[in-house]
Amino acid sequence: MAYVGLTKPRVIELLLLTTVPVMFFAAGGVPSLRLVAATVVGGALSAGSASVFNCVYDRDIDEQMRRTRRRALPRHIVTPRAALIFGFVLGVLSTVILWAWVNELSAALSVGANAFYVFGYTMLLKRRTTQNIVWGGIAGCFPALIGWTAVTGELAWAPIVLFAVVFFWTPPHTWALALRYRDDYKQVDVPMLPVVRSAHNVAVQIVVYSWVMVATSLVLWPVADTGLIYPIAAAVLGAVFLLQAHQLERRARGTEDLSVIRPMHLFHSSNLYLSLLFVAVAIDPLLR
């Protein structure tokens, strides 16, 4: 179980949630179950590999943060060398599976996402800039592209729009969590935005990104010529998310008290938003 924990299963679940619905959307219905299985297994192993490398590199700060100190490496249950080997094995298996049973483009995109998360976000951006999660979050957008290319073998504007939706969703989602654990990040000198800006400033930026995210989600309707299910779902879900983002901004005015701001409410809601939006992506072609 210690090794499983290194792969961050909850993150894998979220990434697969944006992969499989896009496969349905790309297929215009139900895709090959063999293809879905291969893409899911390959994608899960790739995401797990990236998370393992992240845990190895961040083990020094993970040991000091309340949210992460119970992980296997800070507790010395798994050695860094063993974790590195585990991460490499997962990465190789992922690439082989995607290359052999999906296609070369999906395999290449998966390797690119893995490399960007490890080298771009974990090693370069995370400890150096307040924009770490904005640009580092690009790695988490790749599943939309991988799901599409797994079915079609090529890129198109529709998955790029969904890529952008996840890109603009990531900052509100992550900054809400970082607000809750800002003292942890401050203690280990990681310049997450809530560490170096006031809670209200963070909330304002969350509102801005939320508006752009919702607007981007609606672009899929004309770009992909969807049915009515998707735009209706995107509009309703977007309206609820924007309401919650504005409520967070109002609660953050003139206070740094997290019990008043309640950032985790938006964090959990953001998970639900993305889940239901991509469920709508999968259902839309089935009901056309």
3 phi-psi bin (left φ>0, alpha ψ -120 to 50, beta other) = alpha
pLDDT at 69: 87
Global pTM? 0.96
CA distance 8 to 55: 9
Same domain, residue pair 137 and 274: no
208 lies in the same domain as 271? yes
Rounded to an integer, what distance in angstroms lies between the CA atom of residue 250 and that of residue 266?
13
Which residue, of 96, 117, 152, is where some domain finishes? 152
Same domain, 171 and 191: yes
Question: Using CA atoms, how far apart are residues 32 and 34, in angstroms rounded to an integer?
Answer: 5
List the structure tokens of 13: 């679940």
129 lies in the same domain as 171:
no
Residues 18 and 56 in one domain: yes
| Contact of 175 with 133, CB cutoff 8 Å | yes
Whether residues 68 and 193 share a domain: the answer is no
Residues 20 and 59: their CA atoms lie apart, in Å, by: 32
Residue in 180, 238, 239, 170 with CA at minimum distance from that of residue 209:
170
CA nearest neighbour of 109 among 77, 152, 75:
152
Whether 199 and 235 map to the same domain: the answer is yes
DSSP summary character for residue 66: T
Q: Please tell me whether residue 12 adopts helix, strand or coil conformation.
A: helix
Q: How far apart are CA 263 and CA 171, in angstroms?
A: 13
pLDDT attached to residue 70: 87
Number of domains in the chain: 2
Residue 270: HSE in the Cβ half-sphere, 13 Å Cα cutoff: 26
Q: Tell me the C-alpha distance between 76 and 69, whole Å.
A: 10
Asked if residue 110 lies in contact with residue 65, where contact means CB atoms within 8 angstroms, the answer is no
Q: What single-letter amino acid sits at 256? A: E
Report the alpha-carbon distance of residue 178 to residue 268 in Å, rounded.
13
**Shared domain check, 164 and 146:** no
Tokens linked to 11: 């993150």
* Widest pairwise Cα distance in the chain: 56
Same structural domain, 41 and 148? yes
Q: Do 125 and 19 share a domain, yes or no?
A: yes
Of 152, 167, 193, which residue sits at a domain end? 152
Last residue of a domain, one of 152, 178, 205: 152
Q: Spell out the per-residue pLDDT of the chain, length 288, in tens.
A: 789 999 999 888 888 899 999 999 999 999 999 999 999 999 999 999 999 999 999 999 999 988 888 899 999 999 999 999 999 999 999 999 999 999 999 999 999 999 999 999 999 999 999 999 999 999 999 999 999 999 999 999 999 999 999 999 999 999 999 999 999 999 999 999 999 999 999 999 999 999 999 999 999 999 999 999 999 999 999 999 999 999 999 999 999 999 999 999 999 999 999 999 999 999 999 987
Q: How far apart are CA 216 and CA 168, in angstroms?
A: 8
Q: Are residues 2 and 118 in the same domain?
A: yes
Structural domain range at position 38: 1-152
> Where residue 99 sits, what CATH number does that domain have?
1.10.357.140
Indicate whether 229 and 269 sit together in one domain: yes
